[in-house]
Structure 1
Amino acid sequence: MIFKCLLIGIILLFPVFRSHSQNKTDSIENSIMYDVVEGFPVIKSEEIQDTVYFKYFIPPSWQDVCINLFKGGYEAFTAYCDSIYYNRDDYNYDELNASAIFVILFDENLEIKDVRILKRIAYNNNKYDYDALVKRILWSTEGKWVKKDENDHCKWYFHLGYFKLR
């Protein structure tokens, strides 16, 4: 009988404890992306109460980062990358229809400090070093970036994007 009363009491009080505890804690959901080549953590997103914050792993710790944009937007970025991709000396007209997800790290002056390939889609580096090609093209975008918000005074900025290997 005592056991039954105790069980009923717990069942009745559980929703009360649960509702009070939810109001006092923040919901945090983390997602970490890794460099596909080296396997190191690169960027982490944290969602806290419907706001997403980003951090970049700069050894030995995670650093807060802000977002920036290519001058002219996505179309200008794609056109620039395509022009470098197609006009290189070793372009052999081999159509890959592949892509890479990448991240670029910038300092407070929007100078590129790091370029990482996070995921390869439909290609590998057996036939040609496409990772090096993508990184070389992305490094060449130096000076073509603007802050998403001119009022940002972040120490670090990043751009997460999608590079098409045609």
Structure 2
Amino acid sequence: MVDNQMQERTQYLSFVLDSELYALDIAKVREVLEFQRVTRIPNAPAFMSGVINLRGHAVPVVDLRLKFDMEATVRTVDTCVIIVVVVMDGEEVVLGALADSVREVVELTDDEVKSAPKLGTGINAEFIQGMARQDDRFMMILEIDRVFSASELAIVQAKGGMSGDDPEA
């Protein structure tokens, strides 16, 4: 048996969507912002809330709830924007993802991350890297690079997105 202390640990940012616990690999997260006013973009996909000004750059904001066929995010004092880097065809795209709230950064070993069920998760199994137990709850670990198709990312970029060459890279 391999000692958990010797196994490589990966950090994940845990957050809540519609009372369910999700996580992203911290390597994909640039920062977490308090919710701020989002400027709507005409003719944008339904899951795209609009853009925010991040240090002088327009960053597209997507509502993961809508992308996952849930009700739209309801803004509360806990609502935040997780700034992530998505890689598609070797190109980095910076975008914001709305979350009901951010919980914490957790460290998990590969052994603690289990395969996700193919059915019954409520979201496309292709979007899920795995699942883990956290505080007696299951946490779905998202594979953010697979959540958006190349065509969706192209639309998001065209409607106000930016490539990975922002000032904080």
Q: Which bracket does the TM-score occupy, shorter chain normalised?
A: under 0.3
TM-score of the pair, normalised by structure 2: 0.25
Instruction: Give 1 or 2 for the bigger CA radius of gyration.
Output: 1
TM-score (norm 1): 0.25
User: Which structure has greater helix proportion?
Assistant: 1
Which protein has greater RCO, CA pairs closer than 8 Å, 6+ apart? 2
